[in-house]
Amino acid sequence: MAKKKITDPRAFSRVVVDGDKQAASRAMLRAVGFQDADFARPQIGVASTWANLTPCNMHINELAREACLGIDAAGGKSVLFNTITVSDGISMGTPGMRYSLVSREIIADSIEAVAGCAGFDGFVALGGCDKNMPGCAMAMARLNRPSVFVYGGTIRPGAKRRDIVSVFEAVGAHAAGKLSAAGLLEIERTAIPGPGSCGGMYTANTMASAIEALGLSLPGSSAQEAVGEDKRSDSRRAGEAVVRLVRAGLKPRDIMDRRAFENAITVVIALGGSTNAVLHLLAIAHAAQVKLRLDDFTRIGRRVPVLADLRPSGRYLMSDLVAIGGIQPLMKMLLEAGLLHGDCMTVTGRTLRENLEKIPMYMSGQDIVRPLSQPLKRNSHLVILYGNLAPEGAVAKITGKEGERFEGRARVFEGEERATAAILAGRVRAGDVVVIRNEGPRGGPGMREMLSPTGAIMGLGLGDKVALITDGRFSGGSHGFVVGHISPEAAVGGPIGLLKTGDRIVVDARKREIRVELTAAEIKRRRALWRAPKPYATRGALAKYASLVGSASQGAVTEPMQPRRTGS
């Protein structure tokens, strides 16, 4: 454990439970199981995202109880509490998906509220689905109390190595007449075998890997199956670790500096991770008051190759990566090549370099992770684009298999449902650029993921013949020639809101450009005629979110921008 001047490991709980005037607080806590000795121990919260509404989180409470055992064994007093989760996979393609990104903010807010109110000296946060993880990390950054993140783990493969994306693409294949109704039903019944997050390098596994690279979870936490002793042990050890962190006074912002975020970006690129990592890392950095911009992804991406042959664009599942050692050997490879900052501190109390010192390299003969000399792509698949369609930026996922340039005619749709219906009905053809707008952070609201339309395009066999651009975003399972996060979004008058069907659009990954072939005068004329669309929601959580949320180019956060930390 790094040496740090110890102040008071009970700095927060002492205010709540010490002294005669806090007798009422102690009385309440006795009713939930506190004994006399517990009041003298550091109080450690355990934030569980358990819910029986998604396989990603159905097992989380079992892991949370293991974390509690680790805390109590290490001399702390564990207090288990819950926050929410929603399911992207279940709500995908429906109005309910609008709540997905909103849930990230609710999770961060709720952990902050409970930990702040209860006076926890530290906490463990456990997440299993896409928005759980950045929500937990944002709360860790905001509260800046000793804390450890635990990933719920990846799902095991379904029959014939299927996963959730297999189902979405089967829908498109069925619509094209390539798959029978019985075949679609068989895939539906066998793709999801039990607990755990979606099985490719989709957003959940991407963010778990990014958070481990940030130093906020124990080594190996991101690459474990949801079911098994490895994940239970990881949870217990996280409980023990947070007690050590409390006693050492090591806090998240001691770990989450700019170099740590550069490490996270590097690992995401090497793994071929989800475009959502851009959105979420910007948001976590914002919560930590670390200066991070879209252009940092370009800068780092110029020198970091894609090495992991993982789905959706590759061949292997996360469970295959787990079997050969997870991401730790990959990180050691990147460190030895000078692509990671080895002196960054982690929740082990040791530096990244110290954590990796005794990690063996991948076994010979495996082809899941390529050597640096033989990358799948020599630079990043996450391409930040600018141009007259995206003055504030856009994010493309270009693996190279789709080509690096697409030019075609716009087919404009107001919202995801209309686009998906047109794709499945065969009204989108080779050479089209599908434009889905008014799906941004404010206009959606909630920036829905476009897995239904991209899955349909792939299932129809149009993945290399059709492009899709949107002010919404993409599931980590999306692949094909796709561009999202277009900013400014249509709802605030961004250029994507001025497009008409038939406009010529060019996406050029080599030039990092996205543009519509219109004159400046024509764009100005259309802007003068533009009127803001009617809000989707006028009250409730969606309306509140829409009134607060900022641009996707800054992480789609709901907190105002704060002064950045000096030296970050």
What confidence category does residue 566 fall into, taking pLDDT thresholds of 50, 70 and 90? Answer: very low
Task: Return d(Cα 261, Cα 282) in angstroms, integer.
Answer: 9
Report the chain's terminal Cα–Cα distance, integer Å: 23
The partner residues of 7 in beta bridges, in order of sequence, read none
DSSP state of 318: H
pLDDT of 32 strictly over 60: yes
Claim to verify: residue 212 and residue 351 sit in the same structural domain: yes
What pLDDT was estimated at residue 400?
A: 79
**Residue 26 lies inside a defined structural domain of this protein:** no
Dihedral angle over CA of 233, 239, 244, 246, nearest 10: 160
**Residue 458 lies inside a defined structural domain of this protein:** yes
Enumerate residues 6+ apart whose C-beta is below 8 A from 429. Answer: 466
Claim to verify: residue 393 and residue 249 sit in the same structural domain: no
- Which pair of structure tokens corresponds to residue 454? 């991209």
Claim to verify: residue 343 and residue 397 sit in the same structural domain: no
User: pLDDT by residue (tens digit) across 350-371?
Assistant: 999 999 999 999 999 999 999 9
Task: Return d(Cα 102, Cα 413) in angstroms, integer.
Answer: 23
Claim to verify: residue 53 and residue 201 sit in the same structural domain: yes
146 to 124, 216, 252, 284, 433: CA distances (angstroms): 9, 10, 6, 16, 48
User: pLDDT by residue (tens digit) across 485-505?
Assistant: 999 999 999 999 999 999 999
User: pLDDT by residue (tens digit) across 167-206?
Assistant: 999 998 999 899 999 999 999 999 999 999 999 999 999 9
Claim to verify: residue 123 and residue 167 sit in the same structural domain: no
Reported pTM: 0.97
The partner residues of 514 in beta bridges, in order of sequence, read 507
Task: Return d(Cα 263, Cα 399) in angstroms, integer.
Answer: 21
CATH code at 519? 3.50.30.80
CA atoms within 13 A on the CB side of 132: 31
**Residue 347 lies inside a defined structural domain of this protein:** yes
Claim to verify: residue 401 and residue 504 sit in the same structural domain: yes
What confidence category does residue 312 fall into, taking pLDDT thresholds of 50, 70 and 90? Answer: very high
Residue with tokens 């996979």: 89
Helix axes 276-288, 132-143, angle to 10 degrees: 10
Give the strand pairing for 513-516 and 481-487: unpaired
Task: Return d(Cα 440, Cα 351) in angstroms, integer.
Answer: 38
**Residue 549 lies inside a defined structural domain of this protein:** yes
**Residue 564 lies inside a defined structural domain of this protein:** no
pLDDT of 87 strictly over 60: yes
Claim to verify: residue 86 and residue 177 sit in the same structural domain: no
DSSP for 499-524, written as a single string: --TT-EEEEETTTTEEEE---HHHHH
What confidence category does residue 477 fall into, taking pLDDT thresholds of 50, 70 and 90? Answer: confident
Claim to verify: residue 272 and residue 387 sit in the same structural domain: no
What confidence category does residue 429 fall into, taking pLDDT thresholds of 50, 70 and 90? Answer: very high
8 Å CB contact between 17 and 25 = yes
Dihedral angle over CA of 228, 230, 232, 233, nearest 10: 150
Among 193, 210, 238, which residue terminates a domain? 193
Claim to verify: residue 179 and residue 316 sit in the same structural domain: no
Please work out, in degrees rounded to the nearest 5, the angle formed at the alpha carbon of residue 341 by the alpha carbons of 338 and 345: 155
8 Å CB contact between 436 and 472 = yes
**HEC readout, 68-136:** HHHHHHCCCEEEEEECCCCCHHHHCCCHHHHHHHHHHHHHHHHHHHHHHHHCCCEEEEEECCCCHHHHH
Claim to verify: residue 441 and residue 520 sit in the same structural domain: yes
User: pLDDT by residue (tens digit) across 89-132?
Assistant: 999 999 999 999 999 999 999 999 999 999 999 999 999 989 99
pLDDT of 561 strictly over 90: no
Is-catalytic flag, 475?
Answer: yes
475 to 26, 92, 296, 446, 478: CA distances (angstroms): 46, 9, 22, 13, 5
pLDDT of 5 strictly over 60: no
399 to 299, 318, 482: CA distances (angstroms): 17, 18, 11
State whether residue 35 is helix, strand or coil.
coil
The partner residues of 436 in beta bridges, in order of sequence, read 413, 470
**Residue 19 lies inside a defined structural domain of this protein:** no
Residue with tokens 């490719």: 200
Task: Return d(Cα 435, Cα 500) in angstroms, integer.
Answer: 9
- Averaged over 407-425, what is the pLDDT? 97
- Which pair of structure tokens corresponds to residue 496? 């994507």
Claim to verify: residue 129 and residue 181 sit in the same structural domain: no
**Residue 129 lies inside a defined structural domain of this protein:** yes
| Average predicted confidence (pLDDT) for the chain | 96
Claim to verify: residue 263 and residue 174 sit in the same structural domain: no
State whether residue 405 is helix, strand or coil.
strand
8 Å CB contact between 172 and 460 = yes
Nearest CA to 477 out of 267, 198, 160 is that of 198
What pLDDT was estimated at residue 564?
A: 57
Residue of 25, 209, 222, 475 marked active site? 475
Among 172, 193, 214, which residue terminates a domain? 193
- Averaged over 220-242, what is the pLDDT? 98
pLDDT of 215 strictly over 50: yes
What pLDDT was estimated at residue 528?
A: 97
- Which pair of structure tokens corresponds to residue 475? 């599931």
Residue 40 has a CB neighbour count (10 Å cut-off) of 13
**Residue 430 lies inside a defined structural domain of this protein:** yes
Enclosing domain of residue 171: 163-193
CA atoms within 13 A on the CB side of 1: 16
What pLDDT was estimated at residue 548?
A: 97
Give the strand pairing for 405-414 and 481-487: unpaired
The secondary element (H helix, E strand) that includes residue 547 is helix 540-548
8 Å CB contact between 70 and 239 = yes
pLDDT of 2 strictly over 70: no
Task: Return d(Cα 17, Cα 234) in angstroms, integer.
Answer: 30
Backbone angles phi, psi at 196, to 5 degrees: 125, 165
CATH code at 284? 3.40.50.2300
Give the strand pairing for 467-470 and 481-487: parallel
Number of domains in the chain: 3
